[in-house]
Amino acid sequence: EEPSAALAVPQAGEPGLRLLSRIGVADPESLDEYRANGGYRALRRAFALGPAGVLREVTDSGLVGRGGAAFPTGRKWQATASQPDQPHYVVCNADESEPGTFKDRVLMEGDPFALIESMTIAGYATGAHKGYLYLRGEYPRALRLLTNAITQARARGLLGDDVLGMGYAFDIEIRRGAGAYICGEETALFNSLEGHRGEPRSKPPFPVEKGLFGKPTAANNVETLVNVLSVLELGAEAYAAIGTGKSTGPKLFCVSGNVERPGIYELPFGATLGDLLRLAGATDDLRAVLLGGAAGGFVRGDELDIPLTFEGTREAGTTLGSGVVLALDSSVPLPRILLRIAEFFRDESCGQCVPCRIGTVRQEEALHRIAERVGTSGGAEGSADDIALLREVGEAMRDASICGLGQTAWNAVESAIDRLGAYA
């Protein structure tokens, strides 16, 4: 079946693509090619609008964060800009670690100057003069290309004391993560940047008020920042016309699993899960799809009419998260997948708070016992007590954990039990 007519998917280099338009077209090592393909138009428009104008455009565009939580970017930037405490900071969260997520990697490796330009715009709008780019340690190619992009931008007056001769000073420092999933949580990331253990802080206060070094900080995901270029190039109104009412603009989806063409897909918000999976060539005996990664949830293989929007997935009782779409056919051993997810959370818990430190261990133990029963008898008979324990531990983690890791560690398992009938 062909995707719906509304979903005319442009190919690389065609005008309809926004986030991926330069990828595979412009040399990611060449500032000249970046500029020849539209680069630095958005920053020029930002300077013409002034900081208040940029804040207005970003707010009116309806852009929400692409890291997973969908917080309004304009509100975040306005709140940072309005803080009297100085200095202000911009932090790009490039510690992309959600299992199944690789969109930021593609952006950074394929179009590194776009991130440098958009961080400069974020700094200008929020009154910051220093940006930190916290990069996942396992992305060495992105590190090389971003370092090159920053060096070239500095040499050409696009970073430094007088950006584009407009009297605005801004520079970017890259810091590498060291392989801890929790350091993608923004406040753990700040602690890591400050040289402390990567443990989350309690929120509030939110980073817009007290973030990096206790100062007002706008922390944004890579894809969120790159969207700002489109907001400024198109104008808020035209940008907001892409997608749906509450999920505006284009979105990158990370498709993996049992599909013929895994990879990153750029679609306007509003395509259905079925549209996307048809493009990616999903197999016919689709059993389940994991949306939003390990922190997300499973839906059944027959729930393909779910709209891929933040509001649509919420209404369907699931999540879009950072855009993970992991397709599983009936050959995949679900108990083994759930156990792997539980191992992941147990391993990555920072151990700071009890519900998560202990709960992730208990969850893994219970799933291990169930998986062993399935392994010996082919069924999960005798597992009722363990499933009840999983629910109890899962609710405690969700209600009492400090940060999103503990709060979401039971999501995937719960959805597998309730939605897929795992172990039934």
**Distance in Å, CB of 23 to ligand NAI, minimum:** 19
Size of residue set near ligand NAI by CB under 6 A: 23
* 8 A C-beta contact, residue 129 and residue 89: no
* 8 A C-beta contact, residue 382 and residue 374: no
What is the DSSP code (8-state) at residue 125? H
Please tell me the distance from the alpha carbon of residue 298 to that of residue 121, in angstroms, as a whole number.
Answer: 37
Among 142, 208, 326, 396, binds ligand NAI (CB under 6 A): 208
- For residue 251, the cross-strand partners are 267
Distances (CA, A) of 376 to 16, 379, 384: 53, 8, 17
**Distance in Å, CB of 367 to ligand NAI, minimum:** 20
**Distance in Å, CB of 254 to ligand NAI, minimum:** 10
Which amino acid does the sequence have at 168?
Y
Among 182, 218, 290, 342, binds ligand SF4 (CB under 6 A): 182
Instruction: Give the residue with the Cβ less far from ligand SF4, 276 or 403.
Output: 403
What is the DSSP code (8-state) at residue 170? B
Task: Please list every residue from 294 through 353 that binds ligand SF4, using CB under 6 A.
Answer: 349-353
Instruction: Give the residue with the Cβ less far from ligand SF4, 35 or 357.
Output: 357
Among 367, 393, 402, 413, binds ligand SF4 (CB under 6 A): 402
Token representation of residue 136: 């996942």
Nearest residue to 153 (alpha-carbon basis) of 119, 117, 189, 178? 117
Rule CB under 6 A: say whether 25 interacts with ligand NAI. Answer: no
**Distance in Å, CB of 202 to ligand SF4, minimum:** 9
From the list ligand NAI, ligand SF4, none, partner contacted by residue 322 (C-beta under 5 to 8 A by kind) = ligand NAI
From the list ligand NAI, ligand SF4, none, partner contacted by residue 184 (C-beta under 5 to 8 A by kind) = ligand NAI
Please tell me the distance from the alpha carbon of residue 112 to that of residue 147, in angstroms, as a whole number.
Answer: 9
Secondary-structure percent of the chain, ordered helix, strand, coil, rounded to 5 = 45, 15, 40
Task: Please list every residue from 252 through 311 that binds ligand NAI, using CB under 6 A.
Answer: 292, 295
Task: Please list every residue from 64 through 83 that binds ligand NAI, using CB under 6 A.
Answer: 65, 67-69, 71, 76, 79
